[in-house]
C-alpha cells in the first residue's frame, strides 16, 4: 500500500466524483492506502463497541470469522466506511498478492504457485495443458527467473 497502487499513481483523481457502475470502479480522491486506513479504523471502532473495548486483532478467531462473514454478507455495518466494499477489496488484494508474479512484491518464493501447482511464466508447457490432476514436475518460474537461480557476479 506504500507504493504506486496505494497512492493511485497513474489514475485520474480529480473531481467531480460520482458513484459509477461496478465496471467503472471506485470514483474517489483517496487511494487504496487511505481507504484501508479509514476502513481499518472503522472496523476497530466497531469491534471496540461490540467486544468490550477490544480491537479486531485482539479478538478470538471465531469472533474474527463472524465479523468477516458479517462484512461479506452486509450484516456488519461500519461507521464511516462501506464494510462490504472493504471486504471485497481486501479479498481481491490478498488474492492478487498471493498469486501474482513475485516481481510485484507478493507471492514470496512463489509459494502461492507451488500450492496450486502453477508452473509460472515458463516459455512453453503445452504438453501439460491437458494433463489434469498431475503435478507439473518442475519448479515454477517467475518473470525474473526461478527462485533458486541467483544472478552471477560480474
In this structure, the answer to whether residues 76 and 118 fall within a common structural domain is no
pTM score, two decimals? 0.76
Residues 83 and 122 in one domain: no
Same domain, 59 and 38: yes
Q: Is 35 exposed, middle or buried (0-12, 13-18, 19+ CB in 10 A)?
A: buried
| 154 in any annotated domain | no
What pLDDT is stored for residue 74 in this prediction?
A: 96
User: Is 59 within a domain?
Assistant: yes
| Residues 90 and 14 grouped into a single domain | yes
Q: Quickly count: other Cβ atoms within 10 Å of residue 116's Cβ.
A: 9
Q: Let me know if residue 10 belongs to a domain.
A: yes
Tell me whether the omega of the peptide bond preceding residue 17 falls within 30 degrees of 0, making it cis: no
Sequence-distant (6+) residues with CB within 8 A of 83 are 39, 42, 43, 70, 71, 74, 76, 77
Report residue 27's pLDDT band, with 50, 70 and 90 as the boundaries: confident
CA angle 37, 1, 41 (to 5 degrees): 10
* Contact indicator for 76, 70 with CB cutoff of 8 Å: yes
Q: Is residue 116 part of a domain?
A: yes
**Does 77 share its domain with 112?**
no
* Nearest by Cα to 71 from 61, 84, 82: 84
Residues 21 and 41 in one domain: yes
Question: Would you say residue 24 has pLDDT above 70?
Answer: yes
Q: What is the pLDDT of residue 70?
A: 97
Residue 150 has pLDDT above 60, yes or no: no
pLDDT digits (tens, 9 = 90+) for 66-96: 999 999 999 999 999 999 999 999 999 999 9
Q: How far apart are CA 47 and CA 39, in angstroms?
A: 12
Are residue 67 and residue 133 in the same domain, yes or no? Answer: no
Mean pLDDT score of the chain:
88
Same domain, 11 and 87: yes
Shared domain check, 82 and 138: no
Rounded to the nearest angstrom, the gap between the alpha carbon of residue 22 and the centroid of all alpha carbons in its chain is: 18
Which residues have CB under 8 Å from 108's CB, separation 6+?
A: 102
DSSP 98: H
Q: How many domains is the chain built from?
A: 2
Asked if residue 39 is part of any domain, the answer here is yes
Together in a domain, 110 and 83: no
Answer yes or no: do 26 and 87 share one domain: yes
| pLDDT (0 to 100) of residue 152 | 54
Could you give the percent of the chain with pLDDT greater than 70? 94
Domain residues for the domain of 124 are: 106-149
Amino acid at each position: 500500500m506504500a507504493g504506486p497502487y496505494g497512492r493511485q499513481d497513474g489514475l485520474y483523481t480529480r473531481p467531480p466524483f460520482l458513484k459509477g457502475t461496478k465496471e467503472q470502479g471506485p470514483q474517489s480522491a483517496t487511494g487504496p492506502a487511505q481507504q484501508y486506513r479509514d476502513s481499518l479504523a472503522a472496523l476497530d471502532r466497531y469491534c471496540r463497541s461490540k467486544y468490550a473495548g477490544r480491537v479486531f486483532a485482539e479478538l478470538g478467531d471465531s469472533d474474527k470469522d463472524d465479523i468477516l462473514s458479517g462484512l461479506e454478507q452486509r450484516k456488519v455495518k461500519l461507521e464511516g466506511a462501506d464494510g462490504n466494499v472493504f471486504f471485497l477489496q481486501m479479498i481481491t488484494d490478498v488474492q492478487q498478492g498471493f498469486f501474482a508474479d513475485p516481481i510485484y512484491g507478493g507471492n514470496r518464493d512463489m509459494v502461492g504457485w507451488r500450492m496450486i501447482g502453477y508452473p509460472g511464466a515458463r516459455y512453453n508447457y503445452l504438453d501439460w495443458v491437458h494433463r489434469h490432476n498431475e503435478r507439473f514436475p518442475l519448479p515454477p518460474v517467475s518473470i525474473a527467473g526461478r527462485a533458486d537461480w541467483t544472478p552471477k557476479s560480474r
